[in-house]
Structure formats: structure tokens, C-alpha cells
Amino acid sequence: MGRDNPGMTETAVEVVVGTGSGRVRGRISDGVAVFLGIPYAAAPFGEHRFAPPAPVPAWDGVRDALAYGPTAPKAPFPPPLDRLLSDPDIPGEECLNLNVWAPAGATGRPVMVWIHGGSLRNGSNSLPTYDGRHFARDGVVLVSINYRLGIEGFGVFPDAPGNLGLRDQLAALGWVRDNIAAFGGDPGNVTVFGESAGSISIGALLTSPYAQGLFRRAVLQSGAPTAQQPEAAGRSTRMIAKRLKIPATAAAFAAVPPERLLATQVAITKGGPPLGNGNGFTLSVDGDVLPRDPMVALHEGAGADVELLLGYNAEEYRLWFVPSGLVDRINRLTLRLALAKFRVRARTARVYRAARPEASPGELLGVIATDRLLRLPLNRLADFRLPHRTWLYEFAWPSPMERLGACHALEIGFVFDTLDSPEGLPLAGPNPPQSLADDMHRAWVDFATTGDPGWPAWDATRPVMRFDAPDSRVVHAPNDPELNAWS
């Protein structure tokens, strides 16, 4: 699949659509219209660096939207993740861009907006795994967006607004509201979905006053809503400033070339806990775009009018623990020290040990970390939303590659039905089950279209759709003894 013509054949024909900033030229092939690299905000450099997203300057004539646009400044994934996770790097300043895949000639179709993950410092909308042609094939207009990453998007400064990357996402959703009808989408039926940092971002958007009315449904994949107070969220900003010997202000950072700033960011973000940002970046409770802790706000009823699909992978931790060899280096002593550091009570750990007597210390720590960071908070969120429409899933198919199991990010190719993408080979292997992709992709399409993914909504029986191969099925209250041990 070529970067410049994803999903295209030799018989593709050009199509022109008007937007609020000007006309764009895309291509139609096999009944799907594709528009790539459309700017939704001005390039975040020069006068717009470390500033909220600004409107796109209008253009005359017809602008080509035939190739993926520039990606936000970022470094490659560090080893060993770099050989497992693809992360294209496309140079250029107009990195606040989006892609659209739409059924050719259709009108009023449901819209899905994809927010990529990557710990708020990696990722882009140009990954072939995120190709939206199969969503369009099945009647959905698929939009994928870029947003500012790392210090450029999530630095904390006294002289600049917080959460610039989150503000970029809001600007992209505003573009969808104002323009998507021209591409055949229904701006009143938008589902936002994302994985990892993208899911965390969506948790924040659910509580932001600026997101009201921008989407009707949301899917949170492997990322629980979380944010820190500015003092804690700004730790990496201050560390970068100290290393550069400059004040920790946006004005001072704006005088540093992006390449040097990125290199310094990489230096200070090395290491840190495998399931956490370490010296990385988090959303900050800025009192504006994010007025308060998103999980607290959600527990108190924020986002109650939005239908939610929540889920996680059964062995999230394996992406970090296994390729690095950490799972085998952890012994009983390091396990006890880690549990003490993260304030996991001995009684809770004993419940996990009793349920998994054959697990190694490293595996046990990984399961506990997965539950603490994902399974537990997402189950609790569903419990707080019991009067509202909420669904839970678990992705349980174990990859045969490198003992990865049902690890973090593995489900994405199944959701997009892009198992044929070579970028997915290191995670899923050469012959992943297409039937599982059929099931997951259909559930996401149905949720965006009708608000029902195909299994019972969350209630007192705690139904969870366990996606697996050869068969997926609903299980009730899975892992509840372990989850209850946290109470």
C-alpha cells in the first residue's frame, strides 16, 4: 500500500469538494473517495508556535489532497518498540491536517473521527493501519487527524494556554462539524474514537466545555481518562528548560529551533516506568479547556449525553514487558518493591497470586499494572454511568509473535480491518484471524451508525464482549474477584 495512494487502484478518478477554506482535489477508487492532508488549522510555527490553533488561510483554486500531509515534530519510537510500531515521519510545517475516506456520492452518512495514540509524543494519521477505506466501504465517513505532540503540544507554560494538542483536536472536530456534510457525512452523527493517548484525550474531551455538541458517541480503546495538575504536568517542561538553560516559558521555548527542542525532549524522556509516561507528557487541568480532573468530572455526570464504548486488551502490559525482557528480569524482590512503590496492598496482590499460581513475578506485576491503569478505572467509569448507555469489551486474542499475547495496540488493525497492512505484521503475525477483524470492525461500524455495537449495554450483570478467535462471546463480570480486591 503506497503512502501517496492508500487503497487506490490504477482506475482512480479525481473528485473536487469545497471546504470553508477552499476547494480540495481527492480521488475516487472502488467506490471510496479519499482526501489526504487537508489542513484544518494554520501551521503551528512562527507566530502560531505555542499558541492555540489558528484558522487556515484560505486558498484560491483547487488544492491537491492526494498525499498524506506533514506529521507533527516527533522522534522515532525508542527500541525495542521501534521494530514493533510503525511511525511514519513526513516533513513539513502544515502538520495540523486530516484525512477523509467517504462512500462516493453518499450523503448523510455517520462519521467517525480517529485520534491516534503514542503517549502524546508519537504517532500520526498517516499510518497505513489507520487507512479508512473499509469504514467507507461499510457506509461510514472516516476522518483521521494529526495534533501537536510532546513539548509543542503538551508543554506547561505560564505565558501560553495549556493542552495545545487537545485544542488542536477540538479544532479538527470543529472542522468536521463545519465541513463534513460536503464529503457526505452527517455532522449530527459523529463518533470520536481513539486508542491509548487518543483514548485519554477523548476522556478529556468528554468533559471539556468546548466539545459540547461536537460528537454524539465515543469509543475509548486502552486508555482511561486522566490528567494532572499543572505543577505535576509541567515537570518535563521544567526539565527541558533546565537542560537548555532557558526559562520555562513559551516565549523562551519558541526561540529554540524545533529540531533542538525535540532532541532535548528525547534526552529527558528516556527511561521511566514501562506503563506510564515517566518524564513524558500528560494532559493538565488548566481551568479552561480542561476545567477539572476528567475522571472525577465523568463520575459526577459529565458526558452523560454521550454514548460510550469502553475497552482494553487482556494483556496490555506485554508490549512493554516482553520485548524489553523486563518480564523475565523481575524477581520476587523487585515485584514487592514495585507493588510498594505503587501502593498496591498486600491483600490485593494475594488475590492476583491466588488466581494465577503459575504466573512469574514479571507476569503478575504486568497483570496488576494493566488492571490498575486500565481495567479497573474503565470498569468503575461504566459503573458510575449505569443510568446511561455504556458498553464494555475486552480484546483477548493472543498474538503468536514474540510472546506478545493480547498486548497493547494489537486490536487496532482488527478495528480498521487492515490486517493486510504490512505495518501490522510485527504485532499480529502473518496470518491473524480475519473473522475477528470482521466482528470488531462491524461492531464499531454498528455503534457509530445505530448506537448499538451488538451486545447488551452495561448493567448490574456487568456484560463484557470478549473479542477472540475462533469465537467472540459475552462474558459477565470477568475478573471481578481481582477488581473487587482494590476496594
pLDDT of residue 277: 46
Find residue 39's DSSP bridge partners: 97
pLDDT of residue 270: 80
316 is catalytic: yes
Q: Is the pLDDT of residue 41 over 90?
A: yes
Q: Looking at domain 13-227+289-484, which of 3.20.20.20, 1.10.240.10, 3.40.50.1820, 3.40.50.1860 is its CATH number?
A: 3.40.50.1820
State pLDDT tens for residues 294-326: 999 999 999 999 999 999 999 999 999 999 999
* Summary mean pLDDT of the chain: 95
Pairing of strands 141-145, 109-115: parallel
241-275 burial: b if 16+ Cβ within 10 Å, else e = beebeeebbbebbbebebeebbebbeebbeeeebb
Amino acid at 151: I
388 is catalytic: no
Residue of 316, 363, 411, 482 marked active site: 316
pLDDT of residue 93: 97
Amino acid at 189: N
Question: Among 193, 168, 81, 186, which residue's Cα sits nearest to residue 453?
Answer: 193
Q: Are 374 and 222 in contact (CB under 8 A)?
A: yes
β strands within 12-51, DSSP E: 13-18, 23-29, 32-39
pTM (two decimals): 0.96
Quickly state the pLDDT bin for 278 (edges 50, 70, 90): low
State pLDDT tens for residues 430-458: 999 999 999 999 999 999 999 999 999 99
Q: How far apart are CA 118 and CA 85, in angstroms?
A: 10
Structure-derived torsion over alpha carbons of residues 337, 343, 348, 354, reported in degrees to the nearest 10 = -20
pLDDT > 70 in the chain, percent: 96
Residue of 29, 196, 199, 222 marked active site: 196
The residue assigned the cell 505532540 is 149
Residue of 116, 134, 408, 441 marked active site: 408
Q: How far apart are CA 233 and CA 237, in angstroms?
A: 8
Q: What DSSP string describes 161-209?
A: -S-HHHHHHHHHHHHHHHHGGGGTEEEEEEEEEEETHHHHHHHHHTT-G
Where on the phi/psi map is residue 382: left (φ > 0), alpha (ψ -120 to 50), or beta?
alpha
Quickly state the pLDDT bin for 1 (edges 50, 70, 90): very low
Q: Is the pLDDT of residue 487 over 90?
A: no
Q: Is the pLDDT of residue 459 over 60?
A: yes
Domain boundaries, the chain: 13-227+289-484
Where on the phi/psi map is residue 108: left (φ > 0), alpha (ψ -120 to 50), or beta?
left
pLDDT of residue 4: 41
Amino acid at 193: F
State pLDDT tens for residues 359-414: 999 999 999 999 999 999 999 999 999 989 999 999 999 999 999 999 999 999 99
408 is catalytic: yes
